[in-house]
Structure 1
């Protein structure tokens, strides 16, 4: 019986992955498979419902509720904004002042920090992931750095909900930037911890990662709510 249950869960996991792959379309060719999702909410809800039935031990009503919430999350639009707060020249001057008047040989990440405000929200609200990025062009680099930032949002079971990658600046340049990902958690998403990985790219190469957690809790006026926690589908 245990072997049968494991096999059934494996089939569900594969089916879910296939549905989610069909739900997402690629962005500009440089984005990940889940970036800039153009999604069919009905398909996403069905895919989430499959997961929900497994998570709730076969409860189709609870599974449908989780499915609707996760479908809305998969298809929700994540906003991104970035503002340059220090020019490339200013960043270079600050770097030289701190390093005996010398610039780095290769383009250098001076600082990259991330934090959520707030770090705990109820379903139906939005959280903001704030970043500070400072990059200095290296002496040996002929071209200015092209900087991009990516946020990958994970469901509480550890699987990817969505990922979005955006340029920090419309033109290649160093300097310091303040950026924000605005992440909605639609009504119906299950309670739990939603890990978010931020990845910084310079000239298409991943150079730094940061990890934050977003806690989703039941709202005061919500009806029955469901929690989804790790581990994942296959036990």
Structure 2
């Protein structure tokens, strides 16, 4: 029996060993098999997705092709999208709904970008703290604001991802928990609303992965 509403996000399956984090490797089941003579639909889907992401990333980078950056952020997108998608299956743990995963990813990316920027482009990072056209009286205040905004970037990235995943799952849990007490008409309405929510969650899983990777790329562009 569910003790509280948030117990569906409990990562503990036993006292000694938690098997829920094994869901992080389930995404490899959804990677396309490249050994077929005829490309499968998974291959076509991934190729079209990669073409779109490369076009978007190149546009953000002002057409300055950096293959390592593009590869890193495309991998980040696929990682988050597949983990969000796998969490929609019954009895599979949603790892991206926990800050231990999302904050680890965002904090690692942010810290590496900040170290790279401050070590290699120190003057640029200092000038970035004061926006162009700031009055002299407000410069010290703007430095404080920009510093705080830089420090909360990994937190906002992680909380945005986790909160959106948790919100959809909580709504689906709330609606389904009343299914045994409904009449046949209301039960059909509940099932229809659940189907709509599943489609919405599919869209959210892709959108949140896209937002996370795009914002991470924008932060990396600012640092160099």
1 or 2 for the larger relative contact order (CA 8 Å, sep ≥6)? 2
Bigger proportion of residues as strand: 1
TM-score, scaled relative to structure 2: 0.30
Bigger proportion of residues as helix: 2
